[in-house]
């Protein structure tokens, strides 16, 4: 019977709690683990992500998804973006550290409610969407526990590519607001995210790190992506020519999904990329 286990981690460096869950079909044998990372303005229970968990679990994986600690979601809150101050204080180092802490917890008996005998920790795979796609590639570059990685609609570079005058104004004012078109919120981004990038560039410079990846990589993008241009996937592939590439005809940034998602089935493009990703992990 499909089992979902919820758990909470507390950030080792920042002390902020963040939620995660794992979905699997209990088995007499340990199961490979897929960890899914949402993107900018995303969260673990967005849209069809719960159906993704079911899909991978039915194919013999433990599917783990987490809320990155500063994504604006509050443990015990509405489940949507509501802590805008935390959102504004987010940065790429925090996100990588959250993902690392989750991997540490999976490797530490008793740190999560998951039965250790269910986890095949020799087969840990990462999937990330959008900015989460860049994060899982960066995590693979620094963590040999990751056996393979798939990036869906990933940005090719975390470098803050704002024009010099925008960057200067942002630095002067300390905050830049980005609209959340879904909710109408104006989401703050404090200048510290740019400072964090420049201070940790050796860890965060994806174009520099891509050629050094030793794990198998799958890159997936929709050819109608309205948020991250299709060119991004070719940029990533240029850094890792051995990566498997899938361009999905007609697919937008969310691969057919929306929030909320009331259908009991995955959107067709999302199902396609889930199938191809599951097959990729089985092969590796």
pLDDT of residue 160: 75
Model confidence at 159, in pLDDT bands (50, 70, 90)?
A: confident
Structure confidence at residue 161 as a pLDDT band (50, 70, 90): confident
Q: So what's the pLDDT on residue 162?
A: 78
Q: Which of 279, 151, 272 is nearest to 217 (CA)?
A: 151
210 backbone φψ class: left, alpha, beta (φ>0; ψ -120 to 50): alpha
pLDDT higher than threshold 90 for residue 233:
yes
| Cα three-residue angle 163-165-170, rounded to 5 degrees | 95
Binned at pLDDT 50, 70 and 90, residue 282 comes out as very high
Of residues 24, 27, 15, 16, the one with CA closest to residue 65: 24
Whether this model's pTM surpasses 0.95: yes
Q: How far is CA 259 from CA 37, 47, 84, 243, in A?
A: 17, 4, 19, 30
pLDDT tens per residue across span 260-271: 999 999 999 999
CATH class of 3-283: alpha beta
Residue 235 has pLDDT above 90, yes or no: yes
Q: How do residues 4-27 score in pLDDT, each as one tens digit?
A: 999 999 999 999 999 999 999 999
Residue 278 has pLDDT above 80, yes or no: yes
Q: What is the pLDDT of residue 156?
A: 97
Task: Tell me the C-alpha distance between 132 and 153, whole Å.
Answer: 9
- Render pLDDT for 126-155 as a digit per residue (tens, 0 to 9): 999 999 999 999 999 999 999 999 999 999
- Span 199-210, pLDDT tens digits: 999 999 999 999
């Amino acid at each position: 019977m499909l089992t979902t286990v919820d758990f909470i981690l507390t950030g080792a460096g920042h002390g902020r709690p963040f939620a995660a869950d794992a979905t699997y079909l209990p088995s007499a044998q340990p199961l490979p683990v897929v960890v899914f990372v949402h993107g900018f303005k995303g969260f673990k229970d967005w849209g069809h992500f719960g159906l993704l968990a079911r899909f991978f679990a039915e194919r013999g994986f433990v599917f783990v998804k987490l809320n990155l600690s500063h994504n604006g979601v509050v443990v015990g809150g509405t489940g949507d973006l509501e802590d805008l101050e935390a959102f504004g204080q987010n940065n790429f180092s925090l996100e990588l550290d959250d993902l690392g802490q989750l991997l540490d917890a999976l490797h530490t008996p008793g740190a999560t409610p998951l039965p250790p005998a269910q986890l095949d920790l020799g087969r840990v795979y990462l999937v990330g969407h959008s900015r989460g796609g860049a994060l899982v590639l960066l995590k693979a570059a620094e963590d040999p526990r990751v056996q393979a990685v798939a990036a869906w609609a990933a940005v090719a570079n975390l470098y803050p590519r704002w024009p010099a005058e925008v960057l200067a104004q942002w630095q002067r004012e300390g905050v830049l607001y980005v609209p959340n078109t879904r909710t109408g919120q104006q989401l703050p981004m404090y200048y510290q995210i740019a400072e964090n990038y420049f201070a940790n560039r050796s860890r965060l410079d994806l174009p520099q790190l891509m050629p050094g990846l030793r794990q198998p990589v799958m890159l997936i993008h929709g050819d109608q992506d309205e948020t991250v241009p299709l060119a991004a996937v070719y940029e990533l592939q240029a850094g890792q020519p051995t990566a498997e590439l899938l361009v999905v005809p007609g697919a937008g940034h969310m691969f057919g999904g929306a929030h909320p998602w009331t259908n009991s089935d995955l959107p067709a493009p999302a199902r396609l990329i889930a199938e191809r990703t599951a097959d990729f992990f089985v092969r590796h």
